[in-house]
A and B are shown apart, each in its own frame.
Chain A
Amino acid sequence: MKKVTIFGVGNIGARVAYFLARSRDIARIRLVDIDPGRTRATVLDFLESNVALQSKIMFADYEEPKEMDQSDVVIVASGVENRVDASVPDPSATDIAKMEEIAAQIGHFAPNAMVAVLSQPAEVFCSVIAKNGYLDSRKVLGFPLLTYREWFRDHIARLVGLSNEDVRITTVRTLEGEELVPTQCSVGGVPLPELMPDLARLPAPPGPEVTAERLRYVHYAPAAIVAEVTSELVSKRRQVITAICPAGTNGAFVETKAVYGPQGFERPLELDLSPSQRERHEAYRDRAQSVTASAGSGLR
């Protein structure tokens, strides 16, 4: 049975733990937070809820670092709620130091784990963690801006009058957020343009105010996605996901759709972008690579 460690037990981290607790593949979840009181309270909450949840998972808090020993997947969710900025801002020295500390723990206790980073800017933090944990960069991945993705899925489902369960989207990252790639989206396997020939009706990305509101209140959908991808990573089955992976120049971490297998990142997939989308995506890649370089976190 598999082990998962979650760094950061805020709104997202705790909910990821909830969804993972329902998985039959995972035997142990370790929660870690900078605030030990919050960690202990959350662990106790889970242990009591197990009566009804009927989860067989053991929870351990951060006072037992050895509990992280040989985790199969490590999720880094520290500071997720309030720090999502699509423009790839420079991280503070404090945040980088925190990530270096987390990386050291991962490198020591779980050097073979897949590491999934939600903390933003994930492009930089993935690089910091891979470098400072002496980890194989193929096994480190960052999650895209999930709040945009669920917003798109929900709006598309409403527009075409079908279940959002079956909406699969492809997005491209820009410095303004995520944009849809309509020809690489589908509903129940049917390409989106077949169901909605008038692509002008497609939802525009949410503006800054909506995004800020969503970050404050929307936790379950992003957590469910993280748990779903984590379960796949645990199972070591090959999957196609949008992730921040070492697909940039000199192995820099940038967001793209990619194939992930048992050993992590395998290859990026070609996105069907319009010329203007390609231009905006390139601007994002340049920015991500330059912020990573200036943070002094180029890969080993």
Chain B
Amino acid sequence: MIEQSVGVIGIGRLGSDVALTLAERDLCNLVLYDRVTEKAEYLASDLTDTPFGHVYNSRISWATRMEDLASCGVVIVAAGSRMEPGARLEDAFATNLPLVREIADAFVGSSALFVVASEPIDLMTEALRRELRVPPSRVLGVGGVIDSFRARHGFANALGLSPEFVTSHVVGPSASGARILWDFTSVNGMPARAIADEAVIAGVEKIFADDSVGRLQRLAESSSRYAPAMATFDLVRALVKDGRRIMSVTMEWTNTLGISDVAMSIPAVIGRYGADRVVLPHVDDAAVSSLRSSAGELSSILQSSMEKLA
């Protein structure tokens, strides 16, 4: 029997798809929670009845109280409203912020690692870290993982390559402000610039930026959340299996490029204790300046929203 348990808070589209990817791969026991208990109960039953085509070792259960997830090794936060296309960051954050206080109250004294998939991911990650009063290494958002997936897909697509061998990282605020780290992008070990010329790279950056803007519209229209779910799965797997993998994750920056107390994407080594260490990217002065500006905006929204919550 598998011993490691992973909790999922929020059984909407995202939470359901996250639970599916975890159940399908037989990685851990699952404990599902939603304010509407029936949602968690019926999903547990649905997944248990699904023939995945392998000998099934993990257990899927549901909880009636959020506190019942406190003994889980990893807790995925997938609850809250999704961000509407055109919505202001501060409005989306204000809608989901009460959830952060609720989680913090339920997990007092818990040693769980937290994976934040609720939007807006940067702000929710930082707010949860502050409310839980735990080290930044223990609260990680999937924004960086999703953006690095998008970068890998975009680069592989531009070159007609199989994305399986493409690795890429991003830095900065999730979605619209994320930057591809080309020095940390490679194809089967070969640096990106050894394979693609500047025109290709510029083209990928443009598609990446355009897609960042169009992503919310796409999510609003889609009936599934497979890409965010797979990003969540990838991060949870690295935590549960002590993967020791370098992944772009959303986490609080601590005097990184002169930026502190705000969560954005950054490559870090991920293992069973969360983010062990940040792998500092090479970014030029212009990019640093832009990152500081983005951090300032996020910080300002955090400050005012959390004051209102208090």
Contact in complex: B167, A185 (CB < 8 Å)? no
Cβ of A269 within 8 Å of any chain B Cβ, yes or no, is yes
Q: Which residue of A lies closest to B267 (CB)?
A: A190
Contact in complex: A257, B190 (CB < 8 Å)? yes
In the bound complex, what is the Cα–Cα distance between A170 and B165 (angstroms)?
A: 13
Contact in complex: A188, B189 (CB < 8 Å)? no
Contact in complex: B184, A191 (CB < 8 Å)? yes
Cβ of B191 within 8 Å of any chain A Cβ, yes or no, is yes
Contact in complex: A186, B167 (CB < 8 Å)? yes
Interface string of A227-242 (1 = CB under 8 A from B): 0000010010111110
Majority-rule SS of A interface residues: mixed
Cβ of A194 within 8 Å of any chain B Cβ, yes or no, is yes
Q: Which residue of B lies closest to A180 (CB)?
A: B189
CB distance from B169 to the nearest CB of A (A): 5
Residues of A near B250 (CB, < 8 A) are: none
Interface centre among B169, B183, B189, by most chain A C-beta atoms within 10 angstroms, is B189
The one of A183, A195, A257 in contact with B279, judged by C-beta atoms closer than 8 angstroms, is A195
Cβ of B16 within 8 Å of any chain A Cβ, yes or no, is no
Cβ of B5 within 8 Å of any chain A Cβ, yes or no, is no
Residues of A near B188 (CB, < 8 A) are: 168, 170, 239-241, 257
CB distance from A164 to the nearest CB of B (A): 9
In the bound complex, what is the Cα–Cα distance between A217 and B219 (angstroms)?
A: 50
Residues of B near A163 (CB, < 8 A) are: 243-245
Contact in complex: B190, A269 (CB < 8 Å)? yes
CB distance from B246 to the nearest CB of A (A): 3
Residues of A near B190 (CB, < 8 A) are: 170, 184, 240, 257, 269
Contact in complex: A191, B191 (CB < 8 Å)? yes
Q: Which residue of B lies closest to A164 (CB)?
A: B244
Residues of A near B269 (CB, < 8 A) are: 161-162
| Known contacts A168-B165, A191-B186, A239-B161; is-contact A162 B191 (Cβ 8 Å) | no
In the bound complex, what is the Cα–Cα distance between A54 and B165 (angstroms)?
A: 27
Cβ of B195 within 8 Å of any chain A Cβ, yes or no, is yes
CB distance from B288 to the nearest CB of A (A): 18
Number of interface residues of A (CB under 8 A): 34
The one of A165, A191, A269 in contact with B245, judged by C-beta atoms closer than 8 angstroms, is A165
Cβ of A275 within 8 Å of any chain B Cβ, yes or no, is no
In the bound complex, what is the Cα–Cα distance between A197 and B53 (angstroms)?
A: 46
Q: Which residue of A lies closest to B148 (CB)?
A: A189
Residues of B near A104 (CB, < 8 A) are: none
CB distance from B194 to the nearest CB of A (A): 7
Cβ of B247 within 8 Å of any chain A Cβ, yes or no, is yes
Interface string of A147-181 (1 = CB under 8 A from B): 00000000000000111011011100000000000
Interface centre among B169, B185, B269, by most chain A C-beta atoms within 10 angstroms, is B269
Q: Which residue of B lies closest to A188 (CB)?
A: B246
Contact in complex: B167, A237 (CB < 8 Å)? no
Cβ of A4 within 8 Å of any chain B Cβ, yes or no, is no
Residues of A near B161 (CB, < 8 A) are: 237-240, 259
Contact in complex: A269, B184 (CB < 8 Å)? no
Q: Which residue of A lies closest to B189 (CB)?
A: A168
Cβ of B54 within 8 Å of any chain A Cβ, yes or no, is yes
| Known contacts A163-B245, A239-B161; is-contact A54 B54 (Cβ 8 Å) | yes
Contact in complex: B246, A261 (CB < 8 Å)? no
Interface centre among A163, A194, A195, A257, by most chain B C-beta atoms within 10 angstroms, is A163
In the bound complex, what is the Cα–Cα distance between A170 and B53 (angstroms)?
A: 37
In the bound complex, what is the Cα–Cα distance between A239 and B187 (angstroms)?
A: 8
The one of B53, B189, B244 in contact with A186, judged by C-beta atoms closer than 8 angstroms, is B189
In the bound complex, what is the Cα–Cα distance between A194 and B186 (angstroms)?
A: 13
Residues of A near B247 (CB, < 8 A) are: 188
Closest 4 CB pairs of A and B: A188-B246, A189-B167, A168-B189, A237-B162
Interface residues of A (CB under 8 A from B): 52, 54, 161-163, 165-166, 168-170, 183-191, 194-195, 232, 235, 237-241, 257, 259, 261, 269-270, 272
